[in-house]
Structure 1
Amino acid sequence: MERPLLVYTTFPDAPTALEIGEALVRARLAACVNVIPGMQSVYAWKGAVERGTEVVAILKTREGLADALAAELKQRHPYETPIILHLPVSGADPDTAAWIATETGLG
């Protein structure tokens, strides 16, 4: 079975994250998107240190969809350079892995 993959990204607000997350789930590029509001960020951007409020989104997918998911996320994302980090999963409950595979078109 193909290994699960977590994708970490951030959005400017929860409505944007939920809208894009739903589109990715409907497209079967992700089985689930967790949106965690209320994050405070400090980051370097174009030579300046910035602060902002963001939301975290963790997308549950599988390794074979990494490139397609990243491309769709970039296309829909409001940021000029969205953060897209692939977090490999070293192990998963078999039922969880099967659910992710099924919901992303392998089942």
Structure 2
Amino acid sequence: MTALIYCPFPDAGTAERIGAILLDEGLAGCINIGSPVRSLYQWDAKRGESEEIPALIKTDAALLDRAIVRVEGLHPYDAPAIVGWCCDGAGTATRAWLGGLVP
């Protein structure tokens, strides 16, 4: 089964660096790095605003928890917003590709 992880990063370079580590360690098959988005948020009882780079990481469901823990450990934010989920459906080629990540 395939899985996805969504996580915003402070800049494209950080997303690329963390994505490369996940690829090198076999925890992801791909990271899609998006264009800047404007984030409005409430944190520590204060309203904040920043520009962030969204990323979507593709992996196998069997690696999802390990990949999330790894992103969290590498991420420069104190409390990064990381969400992951198993996909209800995926193409045959995508399932085979990401399923090949699991030893």
Counterpart of 2:102? 105
- SS in structure 1 at match of 2:35: strand
- TM-score, structure 1 length as denominator? 0.91
How big is the alpha-carbon RMSD for the aligned residues of Structure 1 and Structure 2?
1.0
- TM-score, structure 2 length as denominator? 0.95
- Paired residue for 2:34, among 36, 42, 45? 36
In the TM superposition, what are the counterparts of 1:57-96 in structure 2 within 5 Å? 57-96=55-94
Please list the CA deviations of residues 26-51 of structure 1 after superposition, one character each: whole Å capped at 9, or x if unmatched: 10100000000211100111111100
**What are structure 1's unaligned runs of at least 5 residues?**
none
Please tell me whether the aligned partners of residues 13 and 37 of structure 1 are also in contact (alpha carbons under 8 angstroms): no
- Kindly state the Cα deviation for residue 105 of structure 1 after the two structures are TM-superposed: 3.3
Cα distance between partner residues in 2 of 1:89 and 1:72: 20
Number of matched residues?
Answer: 103
Moved over 2 A (4+): none
